Amino acid sequence: MHRYKILIEYDGTGFVGWQRQDNGFGVQQAIEEAVEKFSGESVKVFGAGRTDSGVHALGQVAHFDLDREHSADAVRKALNFHLKPAAIAVLEASSVDDDFDARLSATGRSYVYRITNRRSPLTLERGFSWWVPVPLDAEAMNTAAKGLIGKHDFTTFRASYCQATSPIKTLDSLDVARNGEVIEFHVRARSFLHHQVRNFVGTLKLVGEGKWTADDVTAALAQKKRAAAGPTAPAEGLYLVEVIY
């Protein structure tokens, strides 16, 4: 048995998310079908993170096993050929030891969320950023974000149907910065609850609008109730940027 690790980029628009599902086409299914087309082997592809429908990836990582050995470059080329015309690209492929697991071996995950903060609607960035036409104070959002860093019970920021066994996570960093009309949220942790990043963004947007203060955010965290936080930000602004091993 030969195990392969792949680094993947994809446009989440039009997919039901990473995971293979009965209600639509998932990124996992597209890659599994591409593997079978080039190798003749039916495999399961294991991803480092289950991105939701509409969420993009610049650095998703996955692994799969094949009976027959192939060169890493042949795997990359063959997958990219058979993935066409899906908006998925295998950036790198490598042969790894049998004990490597794309999800379990990861020590950290990094996401970026993008808001385009301008009066005019989006054209080229439509589907790749959250358009917010009202003025936002990025510095105030960044200050409020610092109260979320560290080990906490993040029940307030998890989806009601989150399947994680515990709401306790350690948030390593959360930085908010403006570059022109674009505001980016850079978030890093070992792992995340379902919708955790998008719920952070939806809540911090209230701070940016002047409706909430930093104290309101920390108070919401302490309540450990999803209803205490702000709305869930749209999927299209979120990118899985890097998986750390």
Per-residue pLDDT of 52-104, as tens digits, reads 999 999 999 999 999 999 999 999 999 999 999 999 999 999 999 999 999 99
Q: Given CA atoms 55, 59, 64, 70 in this order, what sign does their dihedral have?
A: positive
Question: pTM (2 decimals)?
Answer: 0.95
C-alpha–C-alpha distance, residues 166 and 144, integer Å: 24
Question: Was domain 108-244 assigned CATH 3.30.70.660?
Answer: yes
Q: Choose the CATH number for 2-96 among 3.40.50.2300, 1.10.760.10, 1.10.230.10, 3.30.70.580.
A: 3.30.70.580
Q: Which residues of the chain have pLDDT under 50?
A: none
Q: Which residues on adjacent β-strands are paired with residue 9?
A: 89
Delimiting residues of CATH 3.30.70.660 domain(s) in the chain? 108-244
Tally helices (H) and strands (E) across the chain.
5, 10
Instruction: Say what the pLDDT of residue 23 is.
Output: 87
| Residue linked to tokens 């505001």 | 183
Catalytic residue list? 52
Instruction: Say what the pLDDT of residue 71 is.
Output: 96
Instruction: Say what the pLDDT of residue 163 is.
Output: 87
Instruction: Say what the pLDDT of residue 160 is.
Output: 87
**Residue positions counted in the chain:** 245
